[in-house]
């Protein structure tokens, strides 16, 4: 990765710090697990339970990536590519809406679409 992606890496590290702090509350996790058991199947789970599940999935994914020697630069590139593709799919290819969903400017999104060769850009 070159210097042009340094800002995105810093944002990722910042968010990863928030994620780690979220996992720190073991008692909160125990309470969340208890709620899952009490609520049973078919119930909409509270936001903190859903958040815990996402954190656990992410933790497992990161561990698997490290075990398979996938380097951070490669992982960030792949994540960004898939994140952009998913936003484009959800907005039916509307780049203006996708940029808004992603929190970036349309020009930035267009440059990344070309870089990652998404939506037919070869």
- Give how far Cα 15 sits from Cα of 8, 12, 75, 95, Å: 11, 5, 15, 25
Give residue 119's pLDDT: 76
Query: Total structural domains in the chain?
Result: 2
Burial 65-104 (b: 16+ CB within 10 A, else e): eeeeeeeeeeeebeebbeebeebbeebeeebeebbebbeb
Range of the domain at 60: 1-69
Residues 3 and 52 grouped into a single domain: yes
Q: Residue 89: pLDDT above 70?
A: yes
Rounded distance between C-alpha atoms, residue 21 and residue 57, angstroms: 16
Tell me the average pLDDT of the chain. 76
- Give how far Cα 115 sits from Cα of 10, 51, 67, 99, 105, Å: 20, 32, 28, 15, 15
Residues 56 and 100 grouped into a single domain: no
Residues 113 and 81 grouped into a single domain: yes
Residues 61 and 90 grouped into a single domain: no
Residues 18 and 78 grouped into a single domain: no
Domain final residue pick, 69, 90, 109: 69
Q: Please give the average per-residue pLDDT across 77-98, as a whole number.
A: 95
Residues 37 and 15 grouped into a single domain: yes
Residues 60 and 1 grouped into a single domain: yes
Condensed to tens digits (0 to 9), the pLDDT of residues 102-115 reads 999 999 999 999 99
**pTM of the complete model:** 0.55
Residues 54 and 9 grouped into a single domain: yes
């Amino acid at each position: 990765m070159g210097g042009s992606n340094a800002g995105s890496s810093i944002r990722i590290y910042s968010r990863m710090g928030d994620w780690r702090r979220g996992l720190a509350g073991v008692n909160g996790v125990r309470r969340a697990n208890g709620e899952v058991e009490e609520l049973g199947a078919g119930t909409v789970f509270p936001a903190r339970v859903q958040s815990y599940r996402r954190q656990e999935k992410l933790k497992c994914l990161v561990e698997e990536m490290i075990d398979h020697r996938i380097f951070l630069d490669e992982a960030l590139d792949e994540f960004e590519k898939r994140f952009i593709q998913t936003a484009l799919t959800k907005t039916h290819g509307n780049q203006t809406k996708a940029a808004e969903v992603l929190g970036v400017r349309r020009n930035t999104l267009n440059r990344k679409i070309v870089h990652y060769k998404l939506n037919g850009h070869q």
